[in-house]
């Protein structure tokens, strides 16, 4: 049973609605009350609303987008249907799924998956500019979503902060594919516009980095990123990258330099004067465990070995002394040891013989008890720096590492323990990609040219 119209109207006219009850709210309450329960107004535009509520038939939470039909042309009405049909067909982990769509006498509407999180616009408003590695990761996810749509002949046409949702676990999802352009111009979502989407994605990247940042952007981004942004923002579409994935791949090259700590200059090669480290506004990059200094490990190991050898030599000497009844004056020569190794004391020498009145009585040397075995020295723990894994595939697929699902491609800077691992990329209808990799400490492994081949029956 659907809630009464008065209940919906009370929600739509609450102070949270910012504008109170208006024509769009009234149309939603009257024309969509049999389908949806509206809980609150999430965002208001001049001709649109975004509500959070519930699909009464499916019994699931949804986000409901409505746009006023006032003044819409016949071409716009047809283009809306074409755009929504294309959006429903898109299936990608970084695209917000569209459940249903339709039109009423006064409204265009469509329901989407309710994403627990907030828009990228809200994220920048609340937290300020993104740290560069975070920004590039989100852009790579959005580029993968756009590339998937472009491969299916769909362009977005309105890539902006409010159309990007960031989930509670930090994943970017893109919504509102082709709708704005369809209603604004009546043009088909299949019209050429991939280069325009790339331009908009670059503009969004720049906005994420400079929102509230210092005026001198050179302090925030390395040359690789600045040059890539300049190319993607070229006024000539022919000068831009061939695809949005090519744009994201160039940005990805800056990720290793940002995630790794700067090298400590050696005395032989001092750091160049005037070098500026990259400025990170807030850092969520992976923190590598400290790696012990190699020379220190060698010194400790050498010292421990010498302690063991000297202890064994002393025990062997005492054992020999116990077998020989003749008094022997024992002289032990100590080798020179490093300062880290404790010296081993020689066995005390017997006192010098004294003159006596009678014939000398030969006393057998006391048999010393064997010394307790020295405790086994602890080997210093050697912590190996993890490596990082980068995976890219066309089309996108699910990434498994050692039979554990990690996520979807593109995958950037995944920390992996040094050693051998199996990487598997799978997608329904395609032959899986499987490869065993060897990860060296602190090294990057890149599997970014994977092409999944469809099964042929």
The model scores a pTM over 0.75: no
430 contacts: CB under 8 Å, gap ≥ 6: 395, 397, 452, 453, 454, 455
- The phi and psi torsions of 453 (rounded to 5 degrees) equal -100, 135
Amino acid 231: pLDDT: 95
- The phi and psi torsions of 400 (rounded to 5 degrees) equal -115, 135
Helices (H), 211-293: 223-232, 244-252, 255-259
Helices (H), 32-163: 74-88, 120-127, 132-151
Three-state SS at 181: helix
Residue with tokens 């930090």: 170
Across the strands, what pairs with 51? 41, 64
Centroid of chain to Cα 317: 61
Question: d(Cα 329, Cα 349) in Å, to the nearest integer?
Answer: 6
Amino acid 430: pLDDT: 85
Strand ranges across the sheet with 387-394: 411-416, 387-394, 444-451
Question: d(Cα 99, Cα 112) in Å, to the nearest integer?
Answer: 5
Helices (H), 288-346: 294-323
Amino acid 219: pLDDT: 54
Domain boundaries, the chain: 20-257, 387-451
pLDDT tens digits, the chain, 457 residues: what are they? 444 444 443 344 443 343 445 899 999 999 999 999 999 999 898 889 999 999 999 999 999 999 999 888 888 888 888 888 888 889 999 999 999 999 999 999 999 999 999 999 999 999 888 888 999 999 999 999 999 999 988 889 889 999 999 999 899 999 988 777 677 655 544 445 899 999 999 999 999 988 545 555 555 678 899 999 999 999 999 999 999 999 999 998 876 555 444 444 333 333 333 333 332 222 333 333 344 444 444 454 455 555 455 555 555 554 445 544 444 444 444 444 444 434 434 444 444 444 444 455 555 566 666 666 666 666 655 567 888 898 888 888 888 999 888 877 877 778 889 999 999 999 888 899 999 999 999 899 999 889 888 876 5
171 token code pair: 């994943």
Q: Is 181 exposed, middle or buried (0-12, 13-18, 19+ CB in 10 A)?
A: buried
CB 247 within 8 A of CB 194: no
Amino acid 409: pLDDT: 82
Question: d(Cα 310, Cα 312) in Å, to the nearest integer?
Answer: 5
What is the CATH T-level fold of the domain 387-451, as seen in this structure?
Answer: Immunoglobulin-like (2.60.40)
429 token code pair: 């209808």
395 token code pair: 């089309």
Amino acid 344: pLDDT: 38
Question: d(Cα 413, Cα 259) in Å, to the nearest integer?
Answer: 8
Amino acid 435: pLDDT: 94
CB 418 within 8 A of CB 382: no
Q: Of 153, 205, 154, which is closest to residue 177 (Cα–Cα)?
A: 154
Question: d(Cα 416, Cα 188) in Å, to the nearest integer?
Answer: 45
CB 305 within 8 A of CB 299: no
218 token code pair: 């050179």
Question: d(Cα 136, Cα 205) in Å, to the nearest integer?
Answer: 8
Amino acid 360: pLDDT: 52
Question: d(Cα 176, Cα 96) in Å, to the nearest integer?
Answer: 8
Amino acid 76: pLDDT: 86
Which parts of 279-386 are beta strand (E)?
Answer: none
| Other CB atoms within 10 Å distance of the CB of residue 119 | 20
Terminal C-alpha separation, the chain: 48
Question: d(Cα 427, Cα 429) in Å, to the nearest integer?
Answer: 6
20-257 is a CATH 1.10.510.10 domain: yes
Three-state SS at 16: helix
Residue with tokens 């990259």: 278
Residue with tokens 């067909």: 89
Amino acid 303: pLDDT: 54
Question: d(Cα 421, Cα 429) in Å, to the nearest integer?
Answer: 25
């Amino acid at each position: 049973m659907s809630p009464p119209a008065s209940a919906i109207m009370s929600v739509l006219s609450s102070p949270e609605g910012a504008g109170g009850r208006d024509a769009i709210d009234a149309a939603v309450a009257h024309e969509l009350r049999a389908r949806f329960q509206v809980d609150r107004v999430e965002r208001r535009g001049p001709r649109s609303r975004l509500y959070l509520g519930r699909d009464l038939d499916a019994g699931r939470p949804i986000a409901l987008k409505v746009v006023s039909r006032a003044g819409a042309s016949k071409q716009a009405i047809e283009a809306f249907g074409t755009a929504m049909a294309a959006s429903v067909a898109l299936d990608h982990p970084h695209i917000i799924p569209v459940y249903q769509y339709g039109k009423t006498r006064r409204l265009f509407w469509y329901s989407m998956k309710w994403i627990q999180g907030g828009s990228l616009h809200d994220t920048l408003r609340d937290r300020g500019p993104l740290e560069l590695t975070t920004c590039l990761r989100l852009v790579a996810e959005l580029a993968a979503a756009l590339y998937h749509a472009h491969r299916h002949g769909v362009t977005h046409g309105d890539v902006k902060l409010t159309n990007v949702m960031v989930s509670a676990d930090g994943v970017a999802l893109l919504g509102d594919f082709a709708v704005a352009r369809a209603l604004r111009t009546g043009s088909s979502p299949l019209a050429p516009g991939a280069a325009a989407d790339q331009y908009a994605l670059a503009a969004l990247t720049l906005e994420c980095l400079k929102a509230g940042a210092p005026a001198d952007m050179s302090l925030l981004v390395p040359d690789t990123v600045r040059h890539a942004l300049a190319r993607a923002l070229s006024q000539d579409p022919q000068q831009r990258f061939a695809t949005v994935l090519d744009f994201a791949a160039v940005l990805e090259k800056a990720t290793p330099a940002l995630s790794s700590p700067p090298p400590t200059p050696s005395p032989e090669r001092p750091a160049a004067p005037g070098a500026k480290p990259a400025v990170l506004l807030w850092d969520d990059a992976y923190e590598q465990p400290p790696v012990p200094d190699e020379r220190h490990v060698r010194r400790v190991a050498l010292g421990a070995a010498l302690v063991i050898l000297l202890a064994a030599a002393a025990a062997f000497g005492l054992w020999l002394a116990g077998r020989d009844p003749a008094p022997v004056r024992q002289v032990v020569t100590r080798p020179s040891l490093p300062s880290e190794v404790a010296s081993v004391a020689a066995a005390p020498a017997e006192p010098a013989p004294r003159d006596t009145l009678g014939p000398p009585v030969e006393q057998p040397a006391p048999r010393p008890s064997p010394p307790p075995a020295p405790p086994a020295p602890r080997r210093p723990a050697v912590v190996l720096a993890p490596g990082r894994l980068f995976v890219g595939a066309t089309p996108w697929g699910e990434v498994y590492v050692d039979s554990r699902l990690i996520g979807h491609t593109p995958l950037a800077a995944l920390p992996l323990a040094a050693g051998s691992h199996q990487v598997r990329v799978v997608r329904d209808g395609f032959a899986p990609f499987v490869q065993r990799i060897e990860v060296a400490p602190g090294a990057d492994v890149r599997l970014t040219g994977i092409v999944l081949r469809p099964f042929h029956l």
